[in-house]
């Protein structure tokens, strides 16, 4: 049985984006993005409905600010309480799977798209995609780039300006270009921030 370009794309194999099925998906996505990005600031419900139509799977209490950009939308899956600040870009030629309680600062970029290193193969327009996975309870700082094939664990903070080229384990703070773990998130962090939270509520 013949494998479609979409199936090759989602399998992480070389494929051609200049394909009728993919072209139709891309056109639908861009139409939805036009509607989303043209909404007025206060039209929260309208944007929420468009995102539900755009994404492949969506949890509860999802908030995406405009402008937002993606390739297909249908390959993006987000859990509950997802938040993306201004100017988020997701190239979802492969799956982008995001867990619960994940927050993006402005200008977070996720790339699943890759291109052959060999110039002659690359010039044929063949490309590929690798899935990106982000666990639960993750904060991604501003201007972070997450590259194809990366998995980020749960309970992670990615510092602003980082370029994530390799997997990041759970329970850590990671920063830099390339992004590297600088330390674990500890019980001391938990105690400190819970104390700050209690102080906040005492002043209300």
Q: Is-cis flag, bond preceding 148, omega within 30?
A: no
d(CA 91, CA 200): 39
- Please give the full DSSP string across 173-192, using - where no structure is assigned: EEETTTTEEEEE--HHHHHH
DSSP secondary structure of 55-80: SSEE-SS-EEPSSEEES-STTEEE-T
Q: Are 148 and 138 in contact (CB under 8 A)?
A: no
115 among known catalytic residues:
yes
**DSSP conformation letters of 116-152:** -SSHHHHTTTEEEE--EEE-SSEEE-TT-EE-TT-EE
Name the burial class of residue 136, with classes exposed (0-12), middle (13-18) and buried (19+) by CB atoms within 10 angstroms of its CB: middle
Active-site option among 35, 115, 130, 180 = 115
Distance, in Å, from the CA atom of 17 to the CA atom of 83, rounded to the nearest integer, reads 29
Which residues are catalytically annotated? 115
């Amino acid at each position: 049985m013949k494998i479609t370009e979409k199936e090759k794309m989602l399998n992480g194999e070389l494929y051609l984006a200049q394909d009728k099925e993919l072209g139709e998906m891309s056109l639908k996505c861009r139409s939805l993005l036009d509607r989303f990005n043209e909404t007025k600031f206060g039209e929260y419900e309208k944007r929420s409905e468009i995102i539900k139509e755009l994404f492949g799977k969506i949890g509860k209490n999802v908030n995406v600010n405009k402008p937002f950009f993606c390739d297909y939308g249908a390959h993006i899956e987000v859990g509950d309480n997802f938040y993306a600040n201004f100017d988020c870009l997701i190239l979802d030629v492969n799956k982008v799977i995001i867990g619960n309680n994940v927050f993006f600062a402005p200008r977070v970029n996720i790339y699943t798209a890759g291109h052959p290193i060999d110039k002659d193969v690359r010039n044929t327009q063949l490309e590929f995609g690798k899935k990106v996975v982000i666990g639960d309870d993750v904060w991604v700082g501003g201007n972070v780039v997450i590259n194809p094939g990366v998995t980020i664990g749960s309970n992670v903070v990615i510092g602003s300006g980082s370029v994530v080229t390799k997997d990041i384990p759970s329970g850590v703070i990671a920063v830099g270009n390339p992004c590297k773990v600088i330390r674990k998130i500890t019980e001391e962090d938990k105690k400190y921030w819970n104390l700050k939270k209690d102080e906040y509520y005492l002043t209300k």
